[in-house]
Structure 1
Amino acid sequence: MSTVASPVPVDVTDLPLASRQDGRYPRPQMLRRDWTDLSGTWSFRYDDDDSGADSGWATGLPAPRAITVPFPPESPASGIGDPGFHPVVWYARTIGRAELEAAGHGTARPRLVLHFGAVDHRAQVWIDGRFVGEHEGGHTPFSFDVTALLTDGADGVTDHLLVVRAEDDPADVTLPRGKQDWHEDAHAIWYRRTTGIWQPVWLEAVPRTAISSLRWSPAGPTATALTVRFLGRVPAGARLRVALRFDERDEDLGTTDWDATASRPTLDVRVPVARQRNGQAEDELTWSPEHPRLVDAVLTLVDQDGHVLDAVSSYLGMRSVGVGGGRFLLNRAPYPVRSVLDQAFWPESHLAAPHPLAHRQEVELIKALGFNAARMHQKIEDPRFLHWADRLGLMVWGEAPAAYEFSPTAVRRLTAEWTAAVERDASHPSIVTWVPFNESWGIQHVVSDPAQQAYSRALVDLTRALDPSRPVIGNDGWEQQDTDIVTIHDYEGDGAVLARTYADDAARTRALEGLAPSGHPQFVGGAVDQGQPVMLTEFGGVRHQSGGRREEGWGYTTATDGDDWVERITALHDAVRASTFLAGSCWTQLTDTMQETNGLLNADRSPKVPVEQIRRAVTGQ
């Protein structure tokens, strides 16, 4: 589809600069100026016998308690702090005129959209007793057009009751639950549960015809691909205009537009970058951990007379990732991955971050410790964390939260939620690889069961179909079939032994033949080594409790004191650096998490020894 010059100038100066936002907006790559956060104090009620729906709780909760949203009721930050089994919970709060005004509701933006960042696991929503809709999937967002339910009626009512029912059976192992325990008390490597609302609830007013979602995709060094979906009918003659700007250099990168009439309701375009016409200045714009350059974008939908129908602010990162020659490639060059396993679990708030700034602080800590990547373990992380990874320069491995049963129900649930997660996060330049399975969780008999082998292959291929621009890891750690990176988990505690195990090409051959260090086969289903990059994606796990604490906890090995702990970390990282074939690594783990005391940081994110000591151990410098 050809592009044409903009016929009428459009003033979008009131839009925020997406790459320089403050980190509070729940959808950081598609900003509007006006929105209102519905987090805070809500009414709350357990429904252990699941009688609330029949008892009419959709119109109001009897004898409710107060809860602070978006913190899960298991967490202290919620004000509830009950980690027991409660499979059904209810929430309620009033939406009044002040919220509608803060959301920007008015004649220019008559539609009202109610957004949920994540509700674990199944949510049903009512307004004033009228059913709005439902959603299944505890880690992915959903929204409803609630215009008809939140506008004033003839009786002059201006306050409306929002009610949410959340269902999250703690014993159902077909749910994609990740590290959430199905036992009442946390055991082994699993942690306290996160039930119900755990990411922001927010309200936004949009025009009658609006941009409802967008996705950026790499398209070489001279352009970027863009997919835009619209809400409402796009009028004849309407055009979508995209203006790119590199704020770091105060540089206009060009404006182009396209006929949006035939979108129905999706428009796919290739957006050229003016200064990259022949790619000469590619290195000045590309994104990397060392230079996390972001290109700002303003998308404006205008009618045939040039009047603005809708406008949003976004950003993108121009970078490519891949594999080749046994190495991980960033912007077509070999790039050693130095990653850390991040459970992203807080003692006071569990899977929910304790405050928006915590996402930035997490990224800053990871980088300060000397890592250039984080593997978000068994959790689809809040998009606001990904924004700070984009902005501050941290590569991220996007990983699916596992179910623990193989069945048609588990297959359906994980496939649906993983599809939604890839779609939500594909625009973030920080995400550099996808991990749909880990250590055969949910496919425990993949060695011998053809159905589980087919499922593993299918989800890997589905991921590639949804996003062909990133490597996909088939089953992190062991029992791999179709994978772009061969990954190994090895918790050997002796640095000298680890160095011999991964020394050279002969060691590579030995490591990939037969059994992995876990005792599981490295390859299954007839798969063999095809020369892919090899990474040690879990290692370390050395236990140490700072400050003389001797609480219960465990690690894969245990240090005697702080000095011994630093020596062990250094020796194990030295072993990885000495390998001639390892393309990257991932240290276990960033923080102590409940009973696991093998973090580099305490659970409150304070370092166990000075950060500089940890950084020297990790980087060798």
Structure 2
Amino acid sequence: MIDTKPLLEKKDSQSAQYPRPQFRREEWIDLNGTWKFQFDDEDLGEKEAWFKHGVQGEDIQVPYAYQSEMSKVNNNEHHSIIWYEKSFEWQTTNNEVYLHFEAVDYYTKVWVNGQLIGDHEGGHTPFSFLLTQALNSGENTIVVRVQDENSVEQPIGKQSWKSDNFLCWYTRTTGIWQSVWLEEVSSIHLQEVRMTPSVEDSTLHLQGRVKGNSNPVYLEAEVFFEGEWITTAGAWVKTTQSSIDLTLDVQSDEADFRVFYWSPDHPNLYDIRFTIKDRSKTYDQVESYFGMRSIEVEGERILLNRESFYQRLLLDQGYYPGALMTATSKQMEEDLKKVKEMGFNGVRRHQTIADRRYMYWCDRLGLVMWAEMPSSFLFSTTSMARMMEESREMIDKHYNHPSVIIYTLMNESWGVNEIYHREDQQNFVNALYYQAKAFDPTRLIVGNDGWEHTLTDILTVHDYNSDPESMSHSYRNKEEFVDGSPSKTSCKQNYAQGYHYGGEPVVISEYGGIAYGSTKGEDWGYGARPESQEEVLLRLEQLTNVIKDTNYIQGFCYTQLTDVEQEVNGLLDHNHEYKFDPEKIRRIIAQQSSGFVFE
């Protein structure tokens, strides 16, 4: 029997669970919760029209992948095709209704009331379908088919493509793993908006796209700071899109007028309200926010808001207890507060594309973020096409978040294993680099993080040397280091053949990885296993000081935030609790050589 639900409760847009906090409308309908679920190992579902006749399997808790405990299925066997079903009540109107998926791994097809409404390829980025023509007044049924081969030609990031986990690759994720929700909007509505701050002239450039207007409508933007109205501007939209430039001067007691910049120390955010209307009617209203900040390179320095910015980052794999890559907003908030408490000013979100609420909390709390495209692991025309498309969708997802300052497109030559000498693989990474620059010229780009760089805005190095003296020796001579092979653990060249150092800033974007907290033989980490907390903290301090005492290095990223499955090199344990006194970590991470602690 199909589990028919009553009319679903409409949610307030201020809810902590709201899936898209930077583009909020007043009401939304949460489709997370119990769905029907069925494996389809023989690929019979489409032939037998399950999308019409129903999914007959067990229940699953969405948005948790079936491999996770929180899904209530908790099946770790690989099933490449799975089906979902959800029934709900709806009263049709003249408005449009959109079904939103925040992330489904990997290829998704969706039917509503037996009618195919769309498909999407890509495991980490959001997508939406217009349902209006398929909806009935009364009971409606959504059926979802997901196919995930966990192929090395897919962007899979840290998901193991073998039968078991190994080294730093973890349990697979198949199917829906981020929120599913419905939204009802006017047929004339704001489809998307891009917000580009310019700190040089204190302006915000808006580019809005409106759907459904056959006659010109007015796009209005109202800006507020801490509840105080700042400015209002607008433009008539004749076709589908229009641009607005807003000047932001905030009157304050400290100065006649000033602009409040966003930074980790002062995560100032402006609220902005968008309204679509004509001379007689309001069609749509969207609440959002933005931050005024710039990120750029000047010589060997990285500048945030035109000031030198030393990055103290923590690598976040994005895995949560019992839930794999799925987290509640509260879990994200608590993790990121701990990152700040330990003295870090940013995160490198590694090999997975975060939930939009994660970026929201980085924006609110004041943490810069490196966004990273999950890797595929086989170089082919198929994998290249998939990487190009999903990395573009990644950029769309992150564009308006002030915390996001860098895109990492490839990691450690994964999927381009012969990049050092193969021109086609070099050209592919360069294509990703140029595509990112075209879609978002406001951020810095790392083409292939860790080693064997081609085009890149930063020379990033991964070095898991556990001997501080040996590590210090690797970086004492910049001229020898930059075009060499400094890491004693990877032994990889900094640049691919034919590429050389061009004066880029230097960041040690992975180091440490000190394993502690388990004695199981299969557990994994870098270097010799310390026997006490004191030994871990001493090694952390010595390795970190090597980097901080090398004056041309512009920052570091420690591996990592939490223990994950067989990997036990987190500063937090598997349950995301502190393994060490956070104040002791803070004094190591935030203290300069002179003894000054950043506040």
Higher relative contact order (CA 8 A, sep 6+): 1
Report the alpha carbon displacement of residue 62 of structure 1 after superposing the two structures with TM. Answer: 4.6
Report the alpha carbon displacement of residue 474 of structure 1 after superposing the two structures with TM. Answer: 1.5
Q: Are residues 1:542 and 2:514 paired?
A: yes
Which range moves more in the overlay, 286-295 or 520-529? 520-529
CA distance, structure 2, for counterparts of residue 464 and residue 85 of structure 1: 37
Look up the equivalent residue of 1:239 and give its one-letter code: Y
Partner of residue 311 from structure 1, selected from 271, 285, 293? 285
Q: Are residues 1:556 and 2:549 paired?
A: no
C-alpha change, 1:85 and 1:603, in structure 2 (3 Å) is same
Partner of residue 52 from structure 1, selected from 45, 52, 55? 45
Which range moves more in the overlay, 448-457 or 69-78? 448-457
Structure 2 gap segments, 5+ residues each: 1-10, 592-596
SS at match of 1:31: coil
CA distance, structure 2, for counterparts of residue 80 and residue 489 of structure 1: 38
CA distance, structure 2, for counterparts of residue 524 and residue 383 of structure 1: 34
SS at match of 1:66: strand
Q: Are residues 1:322 and 2:309 paired?
A: no
Q: Deviations over 1:147-193 (max 9, x none)?
A: 122232xxxxx1111100001002x1110110011012111110001
Q: Are residues 1:438 and 2:411 paired?
A: yes
CA distance, structure 2, for counterparts of residue 240 and residue 619 of structure 1: 45
SS at match of 2:419: coil
Q: Are residues 1:162 and 2:135 paired?
A: no
Which range moves more in the overlay, 415-424 or 492-501? 492-501
SS at match of 1:570: helix
Look up the equivalent residue of 1:169 and give its one-letter code: E
C-alpha change, 1:536 and 1:282, in structure 2 (3 Å) is farther
Look up the equivalent residue of 1:313 and give its one-letter code: E
Look up the equivalent residue of 2:331 and give its one-letter code: A
Report the alpha carbon displacement of residue 84 of structure 1 after superposing the two structures with TM. Answer: 1.2
Q: Are residues 1:360 and 2:360 paired?
A: no
C-alpha change, 1:360 and 1:106, in structure 2 (3 Å) is farther
Report the alpha carbon displacement of residue 266 of structure 1 after superposing the two structures with TM. Answer: 2.3
Where do residues 227-266 of structure 1 align in structure 2 (5 Å cutoff)?
227-236=207-216, 238-247=217-226, 250-261=227-238, 264-266=239-241
The answer as to whether partners of 1:499 and 1:578 remain within 8 angstroms in 2 is no
- Correspondence for 1:457: 430
C-alpha change, 1:45 and 1:271, in structure 2 (3 Å) is same
Where do residues 311-390 of structure 1 align in structure 2 (5 Å cutoff)?
311-353=285-327, 355-390=328-363
- Correspondence for 1:71: 64
- Correspondence for 1:410: 383
SS at match of 1:573: helix
Q: Are residues 1:396 and 2:381 paired?
A: no
- Correspondence for 2:194: 215
Q: Deviations over 1:540-566 (max 9, x none)?
A: 0111106xx546311112211111111
For normalisation by structure 2, the TM-score amounts to 0.93
SS at match of 1:387: helix
CA distance, structure 1, for counterparts of residue 540 and residue 70 of structure 2: 33
- Correspondence for 2:3: none
SS at match of 2:111: strand
CA distance, structure 2, for counterparts of residue 62 and residue 71 of structure 1: 18
Q: Are residues 1:147 and 2:132 paired?
A: yes
Runs of 4+ in 1 over 6 A off after TM superposition: 280-283
Q: Deviations over 1:513-554 (max 9, x none)?
A: 2324112221124221111100100000111106xx546311
Partner of residue 267 from structure 1, selected from 212, 218, 242? 242
SS at match of 1:545: coil
CA distance, structure 1, for counterparts of residue 72 and residue 355 of structure 2: 22
CA distance, structure 1, for counterparts of residue 504 and residue 244 of structure 2: 33
Look up the equivalent residue of 1:530 and give its one-letter code: G
- Correspondence for 2:538: 567
- Correspondence for 1:524: 496
Q: Are residues 1:206 and 2:199 paired?
A: no
Report the alpha carbon displacement of residue 60 of structure 1 after superposing the two structures with TM. Answer: 3.9
CA distance, structure 1, for counterparts of residue 143 and residue 96 of structure 2: 20
- Correspondence for 2:167: 188
Structure 1 gap segments, 5+ residues each: 1-14, 153-157
For normalisation by structure 1, the TM-score amounts to 0.90
Q: Identify the structure with the greater strand proportion.
A: 2
- Correspondence for 2:269: 294
Report the alpha carbon displacement of residue 613 of structure 1 after superposing the two structures with TM. Answer: 1.8
CA distance, structure 2, for counterparts of residue 601 and residue 28 of structure 1: 27
Partner of residue 114 from structure 1, selected from 88, 99, 102? 99
Q: How many residues are aligned here? A: 576
The answer as to whether partners of 1:396 and 1:433 remain within 8 angstroms in 2 is yes
The answer as to whether partners of 1:481 and 1:524 remain within 8 angstroms in 2 is yes
The answer as to whether partners of 1:113 and 1:204 remain within 8 angstroms in 2 is yes
C-alpha change, 1:337 and 1:282, in structure 2 (3 Å) is farther
Report the alpha carbon displacement of residue 252 of structure 1 after superposing the two structures with TM. Answer: 1.5
Partner of residue 20 from structure 2, selected from 23, 27, 39? 27
- Correspondence for 2:552: 581
Look up the equivalent residue of 1:537 and give its one-letter code: S
Report the alpha carbon displacement of residue 368 of structure 1 after superposing the two structures with TM. Answer: 1.0
Q: Deviations over 1:245-281 (max 9, x none)?
A: 001xx322100111112xx3222332222449xxx87
SS at match of 1:543: coil
- Correspondence for 1:601: 572
Look up the equivalent residue of 1:78 and give its one-letter code: S
- Correspondence for 1:12: none
The answer as to whether partners of 1:23 and 1:388 remain within 8 angstroms in 2 is no
The answer as to whether partners of 1:502 and 1:582 remain within 8 angstroms in 2 is no
CA distance, structure 2, for counterparts of residue 50 and residue 606 of structure 1: 42
Look up the equivalent residue of 2:309 and give its one-letter code: Y
The answer as to whether partners of 1:235 and 1:303 remain within 8 angstroms in 2 is no
